[in-house]
Structure 1
Amino acid sequence: MTSAAPTPHTLLTPGPTPIHPRAVQALTRDMLGHMDPVVFALNRDIQQGLRDMYGAAPDTFTALLAGTGSLGMEAGFANLVESGDEVIVCANGSFGHRMAEMAARYGARVRLVTAPLGEAIRPEDVAAQLDDHVRMVAVVHGETSTGVLNPVPEIAELLRGRDTLLTVDAVTTAGMEPFHMQAWGVDYAYTGAQKCLSAPPGLAPIAVSDRAFARFHARRSPTPLWYADLDGLRDYWVHQSYHHTVPVNLHYALHAALSAALEEGLEVRQARAAHIGQAVYHTLEPLGFRHYVQDPAQRLPTVLALRLPDGLNDAAVRAELRQREISVTGGLGATAGLIWRLGLMGESARPAPYRTLMLALEDILGVPGLAGRFTETLTEIEDAVPA
């Protein structure tokens, strides 16, 4: 007696995202030691791919931390902040506030710049807190918790000519749209493998400028986080000396997913996310769904935050979707029960999973024709794009 094949899961969360098929295949490669010449060659290719993804200078140090994006966040503060440092942290959502907490734990005097939920950080508010004592400005490029895109280029411009480092959380932007580390003047950037690249969770790709390394080497005390010490990482990634055992098979998968992203092109991926997001919104708008972020220029292309219609039972509908192997994420904190956050990163930004969602909502909400409307709208949007 044979059992039926399991229903494929439709993952529409703002992370993790469905694993790219090439990354799935890469995971099955034979294990090699982390000091094997083949692995070092793979790592060099990964480093160059990360420079391309981040828009970094040719000699920028890049690496993979063996942890999720939160390790990427913490490593920046552990290596580049010392007790008593004045640090501006921009916080307009959960992950900006996480930055502030981490910076404070490493002894920073945090100057918090905030904005209301659903609104971007205002550069003029950063400028008002900025002076010659500020050692770092930290900002989340795409605030996953609210679907807001923060104005990193404008904030970076405020730091031109200053001895102030810029740390950017690129977790929901890098790998799905152009990121210009060198041109903007970003000193430390990080993301998570499971976000825009659609690789398995467990790696945090980072990029570190020469200015950041100079700050690191001028520290008055050793880095408190040994595991992600920048010199220790560089010993392994550049000098091929032992530091710690890296997850080799995750490196295989990240390499495959990163290669696929760069081959597709970041501009193409950016357009893919935008088109799917527009089609989803126009399909659900007649049901009463509305953009949570009012200003179109402040909407994060990779996380579609939708205010729910009056009377829609958030928990019940998402539970029913989960029974059908469809995962949709609700709000965090103050937005719980008020919004959905739909992921448009990597392999989730495809027509098929969103058509699956629309078919399910047709049945759950008793509204026929959603899947057809989605397909027609997406076709119209793509046809309107100049060749």
Structure 2
Amino acid sequence: MPLDAYPEHILLTPGPTPIHPRAMHAMTRPMLGHMDPEVFALNREIQDDLRVMYGAEPEGFTALLAGTGSLGMEAGFANLVEEGDEVLVCANGSFGRRMAEMAARYGARVRLVTAPLGEAIRPEDVAAQLAHGGDIRMVAVVHGETSTGVLNPVPEIAELVRGTGALLTVDAVTTAGMEPFHMAEWGVDYAYTGAQKCLSAPPGVAPVAISERALARYAARRTPTPLWYCDFEGLRDYWTRHTYHHTVPVNLHFAFHAALQAALEEGMEARQRRVQQVGEAIVSALKPLGFSPYVRRPEDRLPTVLALRLPEGFDDAGVRQALRKREISVTGGLGPTAGVIWRLGLMGEAARPGPYRALMTALEDILGERGLVGRFDESLDGVLV
């Protein structure tokens, strides 16, 4: 089937996000070999741009892993955790719990700092665990918990970790590339995201940034990294020394490069503003129907994944199915929040008025309600996003 025969689908999920047009175009270029000089030159630009996006050290090591964000998560534990290491994991949702599971699989003795669903990790709870004793080798936290729409206080947690000797790993999957991220300033040692989230590139590469402290910890390992595919030394063989390690997905590199450059040209502050503006317009439009923010405290709400509690009696599955027939995808809750919330993605190209105006139009028809589009547009009146 030719490309122009496919209907345009409106993707409003917490990932993947709509592909940026420049990334789509970049994927169509002819294939080059992964050891081609042009690819190495492209990779150097990607590394430089990732340092800017993450706010990393000027000479910090950055790279793309050939996999999605979960590979970024696993690579950190595989390289930086050894059997018997104490790891403190902040878990207030599905992806914090995934961190804990991965750390345990690599032999860590995991301690948890938890918070109820819909609430952020409390820095004082982290401080209490750090003061409890033991040799904590790593603290791991999800910056934006995709499963509940919660923003965890990474700068405050980083301040507590600084000076303890522990490394700080941050899941930046729903923040980096859409919100300002200050890796070096905060003291983050390992950060990762997925190409298909805030940057609106195709899934399949995971951008990582690794501090000098983390590389020193890696170099002092007692045993080899058990995950050969993403061994930090093997990554540096390819990305720094330009020797063969494994075949990278070249066209995904070109697409990612195009999307990342588009994001940096727009600027993180500008992207942050449009997320806020579109999010406020969505809430204004849906509030009279009984939708309300799932996360109680405004400062704990993750801007890029808008979690809305559904009105009482709302037919979650039926409405989402009706939307899907209109080529619009939205995502419900995960696990305990299934049937309780919607999670609307406001990352990359999804954080635009057009896709959400289409959602409001469709909901007016499905629910027999009027005024959603008007309230949405009124909230954005005079705003350029």
Report if TM-score (shorter chain) is over 0.5: yes
Among candidates 340, 345, 357, match of residue 355 of structure 1: 357
**Aligned partners of 1:161 and 1:208: how far apart in 2?**
18
Residues 243-268 of structure 1: per-residue CA shift (max 9 Å, x gap) = 00000000000000000000000000
Taking the TM superposition and a 5 Å limit, the aligned residue runs for 1:190-269 are 190-269=192-271
The 3 A distance-change label for structure 1 pair 7 and 371 is farther
Question: Measured at CA, do residues 75 and 368 of structure 1 come closer, stay the same or move farther in structure 2, by a change above 3 Å?
Answer: same
Deviations 1:196-229 (A, max 9, x none): 0000000000000000000001101000000000
- Kindly provide the amino acid, as one letter, of the partner of residue 74 in structure 2: E
Partner of 2:375: 373
Q: How does 1:282-361 map to 2 (within 5 A)?
A: 282-361=284-363
How far is the alpha carbon of 1:5 from its aligned partner?
4.4
Q: Residue 53 of structure 2 corresponds to which residue in structure 1?
A: 53
Aligned runs of 1:7-18 on 2, under 5 Å? 7-18=7-18
In the TM superposition, what is the alpha-carbon distance from 1:64 to its structure 2 partner?
A: 0.1
Write the mapping of 1:40-79 to structure 2, written as runs, cut at 5 A. Answer: 40-79=40-79
Gaps of 5+ in 1: none
How far residue 368 of structure 1 moved from its aligned partner, in angstroms, is 1.6
Cα shift readout 1:60-114 (whole Å, capped 9, x = no counterpart): 0000000000000000000000010000000000000000000000000000100
Map 1:127-138 → 2, pairs under 5 A: 127-130=127-130, 131=133, 133-138=135-140
Which 4+ residue blocks in structure 1 deviate beyond 6 angstroms? none
Q: CA deviation at 1:6?
A: 3.8
Q: Aligned equivalents of 1:75 and 1:3: distance in 2?
A: 36
Per the alignment, residue 165 of structure 2 pairs with 163
Offset of residue 134 of structure 1: 0.3
Judging changes above 3 Å, is the alpha-carbon distance between structure 1 residues 3 and 255 closer, same or farther for their aligned structure 2 residues? closer
Percent identical residues: 76
For 2:6 and 2:361, the matched residues in 1 are separated by 19
Distance, in Å, in 1 between the alignment partners of 2:3 and 2:14 is 32
Distance 1:293 1:326 in 2: 25
CA shift in 2, pair 1:3/1:238, >3 Å: closer
Quick check: 214-223 or 364-373, which moved more? 364-373
CA RMSD of aligned residues (A): 1.4
Counterpart Cα distance in 2 of 1:22 and 1:88: 40
Corresponding position of 2:85: 85
Q: For residues 16 and 5 of structure 2, what CA distance do their matches in structure 1 show?
A: 23
* Unmatched segments (≥5 aa) in structure 2: none
Between the aligned partners of 2:259 and 2:175, the Cα distance in structure 1 is 15
Code of the residue aligned with 1:219 in structure 2: it is: R
C-alpha separation between the residues in 1 aligned to 2:5 and 2:368? 28
**Aligned equivalents of 2:238 and 2:164: distance in 1?**
32
Determine the C-alpha separation between the residues in 2 that align with 1:8 and 1:242.
40
Label 1:316 to 1:210 Cα distance change in 2 as closer, same or farther (>3 A).
same
TM-score by length of 2: 0.98
CA deviations 1:103-143 (Å, max 9, x no partner) are: 00000000010000000000110111114500000000000
User: In structure 1, how many angstroms separate the alpha carbons of the residues matched to 2:370 and 2:110?
Assistant: 52
1:22 Cα offset (Å):
0.1
Normalization by structure 1: what TM-score? Answer: 0.97
SS at match of 2:356: helix
Distance 1:71 1:312 in 2: 36
Q: Deviations over 1:10-60 (max 9, x none)?
A: 000000000000000000011000000000000000000000000001000
| Alignment size in residue pairs | 382
